[in-house]
């Protein structure tokens, strides 16, 4: 296979040399972020929360165990591109059906390898998430494209990833309606064990949700700025007090916004599978999977208690309402990929529904 030389250029002028892989495109643009997982690259790439972003993997060797449809978190990737230090030349796993390069080609996702990802990650930690462009084009063209890339602030990326029509999944005894802001397949599997789950588009009115007479409402993960999804915030306000609510990731931020909280953008976000979070009620430390660029501001929700906090930087990782049956966490208890420390939260959702709605 011939080498396709390529460049990565950030909007501040930083340049990295590499080799293209995946889909062949002259220029790929997006907001460049880094993820620290050691395994689970397929789950990361297919997470809809990466819409609008280019993913840098800090682990140096990517693609070594190939890909399998079982690990897809969505029907297709929504990420703009992938940056790696070294792309594995061959896959080695009994589970794999194909290699990562072919997977990216099939889905139209470009990648660039041979990048000094340690240098890039240090730069992102210093400057924060930044727009970038990569491809076979010349440096000037890539720099212009990087500067023109708007990033994720103030853009409704949820509209790009949500389902078009409602669908039903799962066979559990409860009835739950899940808002699809970019919902992951692993979340569907966990919720499907608790309930017959009806997944609805992100813009579904609250009245339509309540008309389905659910035992609970789930607010999923998703990409981008919660402030740009104001229609979801208004619908959540109308649901609070009417039905138990559980939110994860963007769902956590939207629940916070519905309660009057401020949200803000983190410098370079939390993306990885090893973030320590303290559960305030017990003092226990959970190792968690995270993927978000925005967060709920501490002290901005007078009617809710903070239940979890990030031990790296103090970011609010969980809230529970005092007067209505609703709670949420910023991290990913479904662990797709990541540790399983927080899977008890799905049981807490079941307990909340039982307390409010009675036995299933």
Would you please indicate which residues are annotated as catalytic (active-site) residues? 249, 332, 334
Read off φ and ψ for residue 66, nearest 5 degrees.
70, -155
Per residue, what are the HEC states of 42-104? Answer: HHHHCCHHHCCEEEEECCCEECCCCECHHHCCCCCCCCCEEECCEECCCCCCCCCCECHHHHH
Backbone CA torsion sign across 62, 63, 65, 67 = positive
Judge contact between 241 and 210, C-beta under 8 A. Answer: no
């Amino acid at each position: 296979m011939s080498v396709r030389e390529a460049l990565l250029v950030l909007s501040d002028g930083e340049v990295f040399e590499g080799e293209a892989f995946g889909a062949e495109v002259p220029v790929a643009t997006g907001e460049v972020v880094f993820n620290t997982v050691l395994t689970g690259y397929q789950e990361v790439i297919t997470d809809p929360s990466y819409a609008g972003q280019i993913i840098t993997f800090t682990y140096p060797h990517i693609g070594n165990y190939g890909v399998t449809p079982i690990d897809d978190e969505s029907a297709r990737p929504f990420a703009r591109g992938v940056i790696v230090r070294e792309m594995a030349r061959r896959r080695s796993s009994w589970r794999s059906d194909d290699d990562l390069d072919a997977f990216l080609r099939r889905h139209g996702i470009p990648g660039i390898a041979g990048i000094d990802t340690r240098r890039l990650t240090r730069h992102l930690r210093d400057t924060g998430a930044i727009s970038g462009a990569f491809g076979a084009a010349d440096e000037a063209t890539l720099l212009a494209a990087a500067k023109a890339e708007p990033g994720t602030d103030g853009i409704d990326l949820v509209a790009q990833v949500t389902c078009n029509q409602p669908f039903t999944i799962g066979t559990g005894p409860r009835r739950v309606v899940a808002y699809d802001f970019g919902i992951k397949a692993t979340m569907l599997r966990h919720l499907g064990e608790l309930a017959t789950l009806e997944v609805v588009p992100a813009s579904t009115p609250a009245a339509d949700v309540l008309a389905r007479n659910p035992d609970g409402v789930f607010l999923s993960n998703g990409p981008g700025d919660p402030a740009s999804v104001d229609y979801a915030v208004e619908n959540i306000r109308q649901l609070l007090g009417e039905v138990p609510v559980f939110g994860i990731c963007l769902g956590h931020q939207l629940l916070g916004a519905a309660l009057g909280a401020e949200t803000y953008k983190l410098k370079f976000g939390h993306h990885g599978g090893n973030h320590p979070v303290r559960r305030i009620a017990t003092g226990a430390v959970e190792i968690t999977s995270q993927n978000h660029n925005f967060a709920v501001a501490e002290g901005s929700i007078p009617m809710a208690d903070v239940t979890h906090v990030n031990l790296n930087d103090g970011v609010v990782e969980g809230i529970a309402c005092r007067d209505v049956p609703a709670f949420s966490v910023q991290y990913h208890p479904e662990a797709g990929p990541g540790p399983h420390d927080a899977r008890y939260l799905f049981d807490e959702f079941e307990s909340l529904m039982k307390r409010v709605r009675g036995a299933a």
